[in-house]
Structure 1
Amino acid sequence: MTRTIARESSADWVLCPGCHVPVYGKRLHRNARVCPECQVHLPLTAEQRLTQLADDGRYELLPLEVAGNDPLRFTDTVPYSVRLDQARQRTGLNEAVLCARAFIGGSPVVMAVMDFRFLGGSLGTAVGELITVAAETALAERTPLLIVTASGGARMQEGALSLMQMAKTSAALGELDRAGILTIALITDPTFGGVAASFATLTDVIVAEPRARLGFAGRRVIEQTIHQQLPPEFQTAEFLLDRGFIDMIVERRRLRLALGRLLRVGAGTRQPTAPEVADPVIRSHQQLSEQDPWRSVGEARDIQRPTTLDYVSMIFEDFLELHGDRVSGECPAVVGGLAWLDDRPVMVIGQQKGHDSTELIRRNFGMPRPAGYRKAARLMRLAEKLGVPVVTLVDTPGAYPGADAEEQGQAVAIAENLRLMAALTVPVVSVVIGEGGSGGALGLAVANRVLIFASGVYSVISPEGCAAIVWKDPARAPEAARALGLDARTLLRLGVVDGVIPEPAGGTGADRLLAADRLGAALRHSLYGLSRLSRGELGVDRRARFRQFGSAVTIEAELRTMSEEAH
């Protein structure tokens, strides 16, 4: 059955709960129920939400006949069974969630949309069953799942049976993970308790409306239980974005566009076509002229060199930045997200510096904290799940050496990335676009193919650090640079990098478009070549690439062994 939205409430004027200004009802409806004065996002019914998000406002309800009952014969001031009947009469719904098939941005999706009007959107046995069946439908049809949350938490009137729905729905999302099916949560205000601690925060991508609240225990519970004074913005989407728990905040009028861009990636990937331009990468060090390594250090650190985000804007299409590590924070020194390179989706991740002091300070001079590496790991796991290639752009003096980074597990975060990247079964291409400093760079550079711009550098330590340790004299940094073999020509000769991308005259900062064209061509050729390998072969290829340093073991020998074992 196809449904469309009922008309907005017949009320001529609506008092905004945010700014307390009367808003003309029809104007509010035209504005997607967002106050035009203060931008507060007013609640939507499940039907209104489905119509706003679905292409042309059309959706097909899933034929599910599930309704809550009264397993405990619970009674407070009135029996629970009476409350259920009242909720059904008031809302016209059988339960606090509607499940439907629809298209968003031309991509198919299964949607489960909660309605706060029905007993506060609480998670009871029927809601848990409907969410689970929606996930199972998405699994059977191999279609992305979108869950729109609005809930006060688990339904007390159903006791421990309500609690069990947290585990049940979480297991259903786990099945979608194993099947490689994209899941998205849209957090609306409010989302608390058992819903927040299960399916709302287990999806691949978490999108939130502005000022939407998300948390396990609500403000009132916290303040009354432990008497702790909380900041006004506590548990809002903005508060959570800064702390790495959600991917993005999207205002209501742009939700369909943002969700459509995500779903386009989840709809499936295509093999890349052969690049139409020549491969610009130099593969032999003998084709490169010698350059003073200390000069390369200066050029690699040039503030005018394009940054990761500069290259993303010039090479890729439809980049959608994802934020947060879902554990401890959001590190602005690492940026990443889904994008398209021609007809193929990719996960782009890179260290981000800046072109002025303000940006450099905000980005911590491109020095990631543990949250940055954990964010990168989360995005790489998502790429692995969706079968999407990973492109990393390296540009960092090194991982942030502060005390707080050590307290948060800097070494562990980098080590985890090295192990994760070695095991990925999707193509991985890394490019040193400027400065590759120590393990902080390697944490994003365990790749099938590692490239470097001609004036880039890649080293175990900075020349200044080496000079201070070895000669006790930082002034001997130029000498250290020559001794470290950190320049592109030496790195290519040693096999540390697989190729060198020539730079425009005057460096990448002198002609950004030409530099981007060459980088884009290099990425296309590398990904096209790797597309010929199976997922198993990609992992072997990458491990063997690093296995050979200091060893006689070669990539060819590893692949040959794998082929013999397969037969």
Structure 2
Amino acid sequence: MTAILPATRASDAGEPEWTFCPGCRSMLFHKRWVRNLKVCPECGRHGAVTAPERLDQLLDPGSLVPLDCDVRATDPLGFTDTTPYPARLAEARRVTGLAEAVLGGHGTIEGQPVAVACMDFRFLGGSLSGAAGEILTGVGELALRRRIPLLIVAASGGARMQEGALSLMQMAKTSAMLARLDAAGVLSISLITDPTFGGVAASFATLCDVLVAEPGARLGFAGRRVIEQTIGERLPADFQTAEFLLERGFLDFVAARRELRPELAALLRAGRSSGRDTARRAPVRLRPHTGDPVVRDPALVDGRDPVVAVRGARRITRPTTLDYAALLLDGFRELFGDRVGGDCAAVVGGVGRLHGRPIMLIGHQKGHDPAELTRRNFGMPNPAGYRKAARLMRLAQKLGIPVVTLVDTPGAYPGRHAEEQGQAVAIADNLKLMAALRVPIVTVVTGEGGSGGALALALANRVLMWEDAVYSVISPEGCAAILWNDPAASKQAAAALKLQARDLLELGIVDGVIPEPPGGVDGDPLLSAERLGAVLTDCLDELCGHSGDRLSTDRQARFARFGAGSVSVPSDIEEAS
């Protein structure tokens, strides 16, 4: 994304009167362009902004407190190319008015405190020097001391060549700083702007918890020209752009410049751990037969024809995870990508606030029409979906916020590419991760709980289900085909599998059943969301008081009880252990 260039200058003000957009080749009234945050109103092309301009755009007016630092850039190598390095530094300072390529400090975004390090590409291409690394690390240490989130605005061509291997060491230095924030549970956010390449892209710019990018921003290790010259291959037009990377799972989302302030503020609010706001709890209208929003006695759960139950659980009119997120959560922000190379639309997740309490919501996503069902792969995740879920669960653990998972899937996607990408390993990794996670996990089976593809999001402290949902080791059709050798025997298989809520409550697979409104959850989605919110809040009120050790131990004990009996361990093995 090239910069939008000034055209005709106003002779008296020293500023351009008109600006030329190389994207759509429009001549823009300069003041209008500036009012639009230097985004072309015709084609949406995002022009370059300076670090001071960026901070003015993002932070609350008057809230910036600059980092107190004494930047003394040196010439450690005595480097000279066509110009001595000290002369280049002096010219960069004269042109930009900055001491280095990074401007640091702390302030607020919509009242939310944040430490911020903002890079400026005008200063020697935003290159990473020893002094720039020191400022970035200093801002990170400020975030650590104050226990406030860190925001890094990246814009760089990479490490500064004039400082040789000392510049390379800044990649390690800043990465170690982010590792300290991880250990302390401090949220970090990276805003990728155009361009971000080289050592910056391969360190702090892509190591933050949440990666946001402006439209069209380019991000990569090697530049397009280097790649094309090296491999002799013509790259696609959108190669390394934000949209290209989002589709491949490397970014959480792309936001236009005018949307950045509210988007960042929502992330900061959602990532701030605090108690719930009981005053905001929605009223819950319960069925007359119980005063508890959860039924725990199997005798009080209605039974029905198993085939009818399966069909009901599969109704595409039932609310999806994103429906519940919209109805239940304040400030929900969906996050994308597994950071390995993919995203899966069959698994969705993000942060939001449930009755004032920040949570990480993760769930399967089907759809309400054929087009969405196809796009979402009918709710059947591939490995990227499970890896995305794992990434979000690790982020929840870092921030100390509970995880809520909503299960509604026929099962993991049984396809060639899923197998080639490690479907079994991705599911197994999630099970191991959830067993040890040190934050509360609550799972609700909202529709169809199919096989290991469902369990990969359901190893929880509390497992609940809607009364019309089902949960099984395999679909009735699959079971009939394998054991009866006759797909038409699915009715017998459905009955034999004991997959209804009453059966599963009796077996102890689920801890409780949530009554559905008359006509089902899709008959009254708002009431269903209110009831689900009340149930989740009650569970989290109970669990959030426990230590991480107890949460993981109790979770493992819950699943350890499922079996045919006990196994005696020989005494010599006990002693050895």
1:498 aligns with 2:503: no
Q: Which residue of 1 aligns with 2:4?
A: none
The alignment status of 1:359 with 2:364, answered yes or no, reads: no
Out of 253, 260, 263, the residue aligned to residue 255 of structure 1 is: 260
Question: What aligned pairs does 1:320-331 form with structure 2 within 5 A after superposition?
Answer: 320-331=333-344
1:152-178 Cα distance to aligned partner (Å, 9 max, x none): 011111111111110110000000000
Match of 2:6 in 1: none
1:458 Cα offset (Å): 0.4
Q: CA deviation at 1:272?
A: 6.4
Q: Is 2:403–2:440's contact at 8 Å kept on the other side of the alignment?
A: yes
**2:390 maps to which residue?**
377
- 1:174-213 matches, cutoff 5 A: 174-213=179-218
Q: CA offset at residue 267 of structure 1?
A: 3.4
After TM superposition, give the deviation of residue 403 of structure 1 in Å. 0.5
1:9 and 1:119, CA in 2 relative to 1: closer, same or farther beyond 3 A? farther
Change (3 A) 1:324 1:308: same
Judge conservation of contact 2:276–2:354 (CA < 8 Å) in 1: no
Cα offsets for 1:186-240 (capped at 9, x unmatched) = 0000000000000000000000000000000010110111111100000000000
1:437 is the counterpart of 2:450:
yes
The 5-angstrom pairing of residues 56-95 of structure 1 reads 56=61, 58-95=63-100
Pair 1:283-2:296 in alignment: yes
1:504 deviates by 1.9
| Range with bigger deviation, 270-279 or 287-296 | 270-279
Give 1:44's aligned amino acid. V
Instruction: Provide the rounded CA distance (Å) in 1 between the counterparts of 2:519 and 2:354.
Output: 27
Deviations 1:342-401 (A, max 9, x none): 110100000000111000000000000000000000000000000111000000000000
Shift of 1:402: 0.2
Distance 1:207 1:72, change over 3 A: same
Cα deviations across residues 315-355 of structure 1 (Å, max 9, x unaligned)? 11211000000002010000000011011010000000011
Provide TM-score, normalisation by structure 2: 0.93
| Corresponding position: 1:100 with 2:105 | yes
Is 1:530–2:535 an aligned residue pair?
A: no
Q: How does 1:371-450 map to 2 (within 5 A)?
A: 371-450=384-463
Q: Which runs of 4+ in 1 moved over 4 A?
A: 271-278
SS of the residue aligned with 2:61?
helix
**Cα distance 1:393–1:58, how it changes in 2: closer, same or farther (>3 A)?**
same
| CA positional deviation for 1:19 | 2.0
- How far, CA to CA, are the matches of 2:545 and 2:401 in structure 1? 14
Letter of the 2:408 counterpart? D
Residues 273 and 357 in structure 2, CA contact (< 8 A), matched pair in contact too: no
Tell me, yes or no, if the aligned pair for 1:272 and 1:531 is still in contact at 8 Å. no
1:57 CA displacement: 5.3
Letter aligned with residue 315 of structure 2: D
Q: Which residue of 2 aligns with 1:55?
A: 60
Using the alignment, how far apart are the partners of 1:353 and 1:423 within structure 2?
28
Match of 1:143 in 2: 148
Distance 2:563 2:420 in 1: 33
Match of 2:319 among 306, 310, 319: 306
CA contact (8 A) 1:279 1:525 kept: no
User: Is the Cα contact below 8 Å between 1:107 and 1:267 reproduced in 2?
Assistant: no
> Residues 70, 542 of structure 1: CA spacing in aligned structure 2 closer, same or farther, 3 A cutoff?
same
Amino acid at match of 1:439: G
Determine the C-alpha separation between the residues in 2 that align with 1:477 and 1:517. Answer: 35
Paired residue secondary structure (1:270): coil
Q: Answer with 131-140 or 14-23: which moved more.
A: 14-23
Alpha-carbon shift at residue 254 of structure 1 (Å)? 1.1
C-alpha separation between the residues in 1 aligned to 2:357 and 2:227?
47
Shift of 1:273: 4.6
Measured in 1, the distance between the counterparts of 2:376 and 2:481 equals 26
Matched, 1:346 2:359: yes
How big is the shift at 1:115? 0.2
Partner amino acid for 1:544?
A
DSSP-derived class of the 2:236 partner: coil
Q: Indicate whether 1:44 and 2:44 are aligned.
A: no
With the length of structure 1 as denominator, give the TM-score of the two structures. Answer: 0.94
Match of 1:5 in 2: none
* 1:552 Cα deviation after fit: 6.4
Shift of 1:304: 1.1
Say whether the 8 Å CA contact 1:434–1:455 is kept in structure 2: yes
Once residues 392 and 186 of structure 1 are traced to their aligned partners in structure 2, the CA distance between those partners, rounded to angstroms, is 28
Secondary structure class of the residue paired with 1:207: strand
**Structure 2: distance between partners of 1:81 and 1:20:** 38
> In structure 2, how many angstroms separate the alpha carbons of the residues matched to 1:58 and 1:443?
44
Equivalent pairs: percent with the same residue?
A: 63
Equivalence for 1:225: 230
Deviations 1:92-142 (A, max 9, x none): 111000001110121111100000000000011111111111111111111
Segments of 5+ residues of structure 2 without an aligned counterpart are 1-12, 285-290, 567-577
Cα distance between partner residues in 1 of 2:320 and 2:106: 41
- Listed one character per residue, the Cα deviations across residues 240-283 of structure 1 (whole Å, up to 9, x for unaligned) are 00000000101001111110111113333225659775541101
Aligned to 1:20: 25
Residue 571 (structure 2) aligns with: none
Report deviation, 1:13: 1.3
Structure 1 residue ranges without an equivalent (≥5) = 1-7, 554-567
Secondary structure at 1:55 match in 2:
coil
Question: What secondary structure is seen at the aligned counterpart in 2 of 1:175?
Answer: helix
Which shows bigger deviation, 109-118 or 542-551?
542-551
SS in 2 for 1:542: helix
Tell me which of 490, 505, 528 is aligned to 1:477: 490
Deviation at 1:536?
1.8
2:8 alignment partner in structure 1: none
Describe how 1:551-566 pairs up with structure 2 within 5 A: none
Shift of residue 417 of structure 1? Answer: 0.4
- Which amino acid is 2:83 matched to? V
Q: How far has the Cα of 1:425 moved from its partner? A: 1.1
Q: Distance in 2 between matches of 1:303 and 1:113?
A: 46
2:10 corresponding residue in structure 1: none
Partner residue in 2 for 1:126: 131
Aligned-pair distance for 1:68?
Answer: 2.0
Give the AA of the match of 1:74: F
Single out whichever of 180-189 and 122-131 deviates more from structure 2: 122-131
Counterpart Cα distance in 2 of 1:272 and 1:534: 21
Aligned equivalents of 2:227, 2:323: Cα separation in 1: 43
Residue 238 (structure 1) aligns with: 243
Q: Which moved more, 1:274-283 or 1:316-325?
A: 274-283
Distance in 1 separating the partners of 2:489 and 2:564: 32
Please give the alpha-carbon distance, in whole angstroms, between the structure 1 residues aligned to 2:399 and 2:72: 34
Contact 1:51/1:58 (<8 A) preserved: no
Q: What's the CA shift for 1:512?
A: 1.5
Q: What SS does structure 2 have at the residue aligned with 1:335?
A: strand
**CA deviation map 1:454-478 (0-9, x unaligned):** 1111000000000000010000001
Looking at structure 1, the residues matched to 179 and 292 of structure 2 have their Cα atoms a distance apart, in angstroms, of 41
